[in-house]
Amino acid sequence: MSTFDKEFWTFSFHEMGTRDLPAIIDYILKLNKDFQKIIYIGHSQGTCMLFAAITLMNEYFKNKIKLFIALAPVAKLTNMKSNFLKFLSKLNFQKLFKSAEQFEIFPDTKISNDINRWITNKIPSLANFALEMISDDNINSLNNNKKRMKVYLTHYPSGTSLQAMNHFIQNFQNKNFAQYDYKITANMRIYGQPKPLEYDLSKIKEIPIALFGGKEDKLATEEDIDWLKLKIGENLVFSKIYEKMGHVSFLIGNDLNWVNDAILLIDAFSINDDLIK
């Protein structure tokens, strides 16, 4: 398929987790035949796709993942505080994009990169404001590397599908962690019921999970992480909320205390039959 085809963009974190992740993991283990499992480190959507997939394919992931380190973990977004995503949820932006036959959003193009580069160099306060609107409180007081932030914002965001963005907004609006809502007729055909099936996190068994959260994170809030801790139950091996850390601080932070904690976990779980990812 071409990226100009509507069908190309019919995916969200669900397909990333149930299709892409198994393909990637199997490929890694095929190339590294001496190893039986990996240690998986995901950030934000990289955690959401695995949480969703494990509930549907627990046996597969139990046999392939030794430890799941979740940075800024995302599942249910009930307490999400992002003004930008709240605005999109009220705007009914999906209908607008569909009417324009635009199924890729925030594409990574030379024009968008040039604009972002100009803004971050000439009006850094505007770039900071955008991050505060989207994901992080008090961006100037966080332990972020301001110089590197300019570099990353030049290539951020890098594009996704309309369906992927809408899936997150659906979960926020419905206050749940569920599969994609195709509306009643299609839901009946796909799920056998009017509403999409929820991801049952109680089905996660025998997969050690570590949760790393930021105190100033608007997307993966402390309240929703507490809910996630209760749902994953005995699978939880580590949980910590870091002060002066936001959603992107795990990518561009000056404070590397969370890295030290992650390394300790990796060392503890890295036995001979493991491969770190």
Average confidence (pLDDT) over 191-205: 96
User: Is 1 within a domain?
Assistant: no
> Mind telling me the catalytic residues?
44, 217, 247
| Residue 204 clears pLDDT 80, i.e. is over it | yes
How many separate domains does the chain show? 1
What would the pLDDT profile of 40-76 be if each residue is shown by its tens digit? 999 999 999 999 999 999 999 999 999 999 999 999 9
| Residue 223 clears pLDDT 80, i.e. is over it | yes
Say if CB 212 and CB 221 are below 8 A apart: no
Rg (CA), the chain: 19
Instruction: Return the pLDDT at 138.
Output: 55
Say if CB 205 and CB 56 are below 8 A apart: no
CATH number where 210 lies: 3.40.50.1820
| Residue 15 clears pLDDT 90, i.e. is over it | yes
Q: Where residue 277 falls among pLDDT bands split at 50, 70, 90?
A: very low
On average, the pLDDT of the chain sits at 85
Q: Which domain holds residue 269?
A: 6-276
What's the pTM value of the predicted model, to 2 decimals?
Answer: 0.85
Paired strand residues for 275? 38
Q: Are strands 209-214 and 236-242 parallel, antiparallel or unpaired?
A: parallel
User: Is 220 within a domain?
Assistant: yes
| Residue 276 clears pLDDT 50, i.e. is over it | no
User: Is 89 within a domain?
Assistant: yes
Average confidence (pLDDT) over 149-153: 70
Q: How far apart are CA 32 and CA 83, in angstroms?
A: 44
Torsion of the alpha carbons at 168, 173, 178 and 180, rounded to the nearest 10: -60
